[in-house]
Amino acid sequence: WVAAALGRMAEPQGRAAAFQTPATITGYITHLPVYVDAGSAATSLIAGLYTDTNGRPGSRLARGTLSAPKPGSWNAVLLPATAVTAGTRYWIAILSPSGQLRFRGRAGSVAQPSETSQSTSLTGLPSTWATGTVSGNGPLSGYGAGYGR
């Protein structure tokens, strides 16, 4: 990540944001570390992994919830072990069902696809993504972590 290019971003409670990312290895994702920015009022953080369908988030592969995310630090959301394939594009989605979520985007010098959810009253990540606004605010200061095969 290029620290100088980090953009401070926020989503209101109930609106999810998704960021496209390629898998760099074949293996299993077991958690999604996400940087929660200082001043975040989120009382929980839901993160999930989605398939890529023609350059848009598709079906949810996995999700997890972290109670009381700590602002100003990395927060790891645990997932059930989820298979990923090197070179395949996926989407990492984040949501706060309670309180505004502050985080970092534009974590590099080149913008990557991102979008918000169509719904602004989500309490969980939907099984199939419905697009709201499309932008180039990626990549997220977050990533999939786990182990290779």
pLDDT tens, 87-140? Answer: 999 999 999 999 999 998 875 556 789 999 999 999 999 999 999 999 888 889
Cα dist. 107→5, 27, 38, 63, 103 in Å? 6, 24, 16, 22, 11
85, 38 contact by CB (below 8 A): no
Q: Tell me what percent of the residues of the chain surpass a pLDDT of 70.
A: 93
pLDDT at 111: 73
pLDDT at 4: 32
**Global confidence as pTM:** 0.92
| Alpha-carbon span 20 to 139, nearest angstrom | 7
| Alpha-carbon span 149 to 138, nearest angstrom | 27
pLDDT at 110: 64
pLDDT at 84: 97
pLDDT at 7: 78
| Alpha-carbon span 144 to 23, nearest angstrom | 8
- What is the pLDDT of the chain when averaged over all its residues? 91
